[in-house]
Amino acid sequence: MLDADVEVDRREFTVRAQLRVAPGERLALFGPSGAGKTTLLEVIAGLVRPARGRVQLGGRVLTSTEHPKTFVPPWQRRVGLLRQDPGLFPHLSVRGNLCYGPGADPGRELAQVADALGISALLPAMPVALSGGQAHRVALGRLLLAHCDALLLDEPYAGLDASLRRSLTELVAELVDAREVPAMLVAHELAEAQAFAHRLAILDHGQLLQVGAPDEVVLRPASRRVAELVGYLGFVPAAGPEGTVAGVHPERVTSGAHDERGVVLTGTVTGCRPSGAGWEADLAVDGTTITCRLPERPAEVGGELVVTVVDPPSFGPDGAAVARPGGSYLPSGPSNPEQVGR
Amino acid sequence: MSGLASVLGALVIWLALLGPVIALLTHLSGSAIASALTGPGDLDPLYTSLASGAVTLAVLLVFCTPLAYMMARGTLPFPRVWEAGVLCSLLLPPLVIGLLLIFMVGPYTPLGELLNATPWHLSATNTFLALVIAEVYESAPYYVVGAQAAFADVDPRMEEQAALLGDRPRRVFRRVTLPLAAPGLGVALSVAWARAMGAFGAVIIIAYHPYGLPLQIYVTLQETGLASALPYALVLLVVALPLPLAAFTWSAHARRRRRG
């Protein structure tokens, strides 16, 4: 079990987080740039000392600012960190890189890991000859051979193409499951975080806003701010006290009026453009503009369009999520998100 | 046409820079070299220069490498002050260094008296030790500046990664930092070697004896004329230049191999 309850003072704000990641569990940290996600990983890895708090891994206290004060140095933590730059040692071959860790077995285990990662043929090559995807596989293999007790991934696949990102994410997920180590991923893209994680943690301005199952967090954001971060681009007035709004996620909008599925909106199309395999339209509704992605081309600009926002989350005037009178539109919709507040 | 003119222009400048070496080679005959260097003791200045140069390099490696590393990593307080100090010693004219060394390690200074009080009655003037001191002072700033740049070129995240894989700082330095900085360190060390071999300004003030190659050239020039000094000039070039040339070639090769 990886257990972190820390506060790190930064120039602009204090990063506060309390997280527990079980062996074999995959947690994704998601939030805007500069929210403190990397700082959290660096505290766990021992590269940054927290102002207050405690980090524990598998019963070992790695950092504690309370008596007895403890700080286990990075080389004794057995915590693997993979960043966007795979950080392969350029003066060592792939084999040399894989076997770098003191406990690395250059025999059977090396062959097994290299085989599992599909890099057996690259063992004699130098890092400069590797592609981005190959370099990441080698870096991952190096962490596996070093027998890390926890795996931290800091936007490791940024800059790689989508299919490579997907295959590497799946590979890491399989390896984490097989080794039963806690894993944390800092993700730049929500889809990547959702694909990887059992749980999603939303961090903003140093504060952990919500932790929960990915679909729970995305479909039932604990606050308007969380909703904005996970992609709700518009907010329209909703039933409830004055100031209550419903969040509109572009991908949870469907054409036509379907009262039983959500909130029906009628508006004027103010913009329309192709988006992936469908269309993205801007719709002016009661002075608010919402964006929706539709499978078919909507009405021409200036035309009227009726859409249904499927089971939207509602937020009170204070920005906190409020339950819809009568419950969710969808009987299977998630409820009771785990909200974190300190 | 303009391309050819550029190449010709570059060639003229290159030849002009190499002019002194060309002049040396065109004014030397085999018999002159043989007669100047085959007498008893003729090669003593060469041995003295080689020995003092080797000791100087050892001193630089042991004492200046950690300083360069700490300066590169910014672990010292007031980093600009340290850099200014090194730059100051780099810019001091060698003759002035020699004069000031007399006031620092001369026989009537506290340091000089301390050296004399040792069981070996050491002296930092007109001895092999004095020659080494002069060479160290003339070459150290070049090494520190070069080594600092070499260490700064090593991505600290490489060291961080090595630590996370289980290496203690000393092991990280030996297995990652040093090999990655080696090409730059090699160049810095070879430049320091060339400076030590050619050290003259400080040497003539505090280490007139024993003669190294530069002083031998100067003395021969004074006593027997230009022609007799030329063979020693050739010997100085032969011992001073190959190391920097080899280091530059190796460094370029190593960087290409790592960065593609």
Q: What's the pLDDT score for residue B226?
A: 87
Residue A185: name the closest of A6, A21, A26 by CA.
Answer: A26
Mean pLDDT of chain A: 88
The answer to whether A292 and A216 are in contact (CB under 8 A) is no
Interatomic CA distance for residues B187 and B146, integer angstroms: 7
Sign of CA dihedral A323, A324, A325, A330: negative
- pLDDT tens for A24-51 read 999 999 999 889 999 999 999 999 999 9
Q: What's the pLDDT score for residue B1?
A: 60
Give how far A207 is from chain B: nearest CA, Å.
Answer: 27
Interchain contact B260–A (C-beta under 8 A):
yes
Give how far A236 is from chain B: nearest CA, Å.
Answer: 47
pLDDT at A12 over 70: yes
- Give mean pLDDT, residues A220-241: 90
Q: What's the pLDDT score for residue A336?
A: 42
Q: What's the pLDDT score for residue A333?
A: 44
- The β-bridge relationship of strands A245-248 and A262-275 is unpaired
Inter-chain contact A91–B166, Cβ cutoff 8 Å? Answer: no
Inter-chain contact B166–A78, Cβ cutoff 8 Å? Answer: yes
Nearest neighbour of A81 by CB, restricted to B158, B164, B167: B164
pLDDT at A328 over 70: no
* Full DSSP string of A139-153: HHHHHHHTT-SEEEE
pLDDT at A335 over 70: no
Q: What's the pLDDT score for residue B41?
A: 85
Q: List the structure tokens of A80.
A: 């693997």
Residue of B nearest to A140 (CA): B165
Q: What's the pLDDT score for residue B37?
A: 81
Residue of B nearest to A104 (CA): B165
Interatomic CA distance for residues B57 and B135, integer angstroms: 9
Residue of A nearest to B158 (CA): A87
List CB contacts (< 8 A) between A78 and chain B: 166
- pLDDT tens for A273-287 read 998 888 999 999 888
pLDDT at B215 over 50: yes
Would you give the distance in Å from CA B34 to the centre of its chain?
28
Q: List the structure tokens of A327.
A: 């419950």
Find the distance separating the first CA and the last CA of chain B, reported in whole Å: 33
Rounded to 5°, angle at Cα B88 from B87 and B91: 85
Residue of A nearest to B177 (CA): A89
B 170-199 residues inside an 8 A Cβ radius of A: 175-176, 179-180
Nearest neighbour of B168 by CB, restricted to A47, A75, A91: A75
Name the residue with tokens 């070697």.
B193
- Give mean pLDDT, residues A17-21: 93
Give how far A338 is from chain B: nearest CA, Å.
Answer: 33
Interchain contact B166–A (C-beta under 8 A):
yes
pLDDT at A127 over 90: yes
- Give mean pLDDT, residues A163-180: 84
- Give mean pLDDT, residues B172-188: 95
Q: Taking the CB of residue A299, how many other CB atoms lie within 10 A of it?
A: 15
Give how far A260 is from chain B: nearest CA, Å.
Answer: 54
The amino acid at A53: G
Q: What's the pLDDT score for residue A144?
A: 86
pLDDT band at residue A211 under the 50/70/90 scheme = very high
For residue B28, the SS3 value is coil
- Give mean pLDDT, residues B44-69: 96
Q: What's the pLDDT score for residue B38?
A: 83
pLDDT at A334 over 50: no
List CB contacts (< 8 A) between B180 and chain A: 89-91
List CB contacts (< 8 A) between B260 and chain A: 128-129
For residue B166, the SS3 value is coil
pLDDT band at residue A337 under the 50/70/90 scheme = very low
pLDDT at B25 over 80: yes
Give how far A100 is from chain B: nearest CA, Å.
Answer: 7
pLDDT at A161 over 90: no
Q: What's the pLDDT score for residue B84?
A: 94
* Full DSSP string of A19-59: EEE-TT-EEEEE--TTSSHHHHHHHHHTSS--SEEEEEETT
pLDDT at A340 over 70: no
Please give the ipTM for the structure prediction.
0.82
List CB contacts (< 8 A) between B259 and chain A: 90, 128
Inter-chain contact A87–B161, Cβ cutoff 8 Å? Answer: yes
The alpha carbons of chain A give a radius of gyration, in whole angstroms, of 23
pLDDT band at residue A327 under the 50/70/90 scheme = low
Q: What's the pLDDT score for residue A237?
A: 87
* Full DSSP string of A269-291: EEEEEEETTEEEEEEEETTEEEE
Q: What's the pLDDT score for residue A133?
A: 86
Q: List the structure tokens of A39.
A: 């700082």
Chosen from A41, A57, A62, A75 to mutate, greatest number of chain B CBs within 10 A: A75
Considering the entire predicted model, what is its pTM? Answer: 0.81
pLDDT at A176 over 90: no
Interchain contact B259–A (C-beta under 8 A):
yes
Nearest neighbour of B166 by CB, restricted to A87, A91, A102: A102
Mean pLDDT of chain B: 92
Q: Which of A162-171, B19-28, B98-107, B160-169 has the lowest mean pLDDT?
A: A162-171
Nearest neighbour of B166 by CB, restricted to A75, A90, A127: A75
Q: What's the pLDDT score for residue A342?
A: 34
- The β-bridge relationship of strands A70-71 and A199-204 is unpaired
- pLDDT tens for B191-211 read 999 999 999 999 999 999 899
Which of the given ranges, A163-177, A196-210, B27-41, has the highest pLDDT on average?
Answer: A196-210
The answer to whether B49 and B239 are in contact (CB under 8 A) is yes
Inter-chain contact A75–B179, Cβ cutoff 8 Å? Answer: no
Q: Where are the alpha helices (DSSP H) in chain B?
A: 2-17, 19-26, 30-37, 44-59, 65-73, 79-91, 94-105, 110-116, 128-152, 156-164, 169-172, 178-197, 201-206, 213-224, 226-240, 242-259
- pLDDT tens for B107-149 read 899 999 999 999 999 999 999 999 999 999 999 999 999 999 9
Q: What's the pLDDT score for residue A325?
A: 60
Q: What's the pLDDT score for residue A326?
A: 59
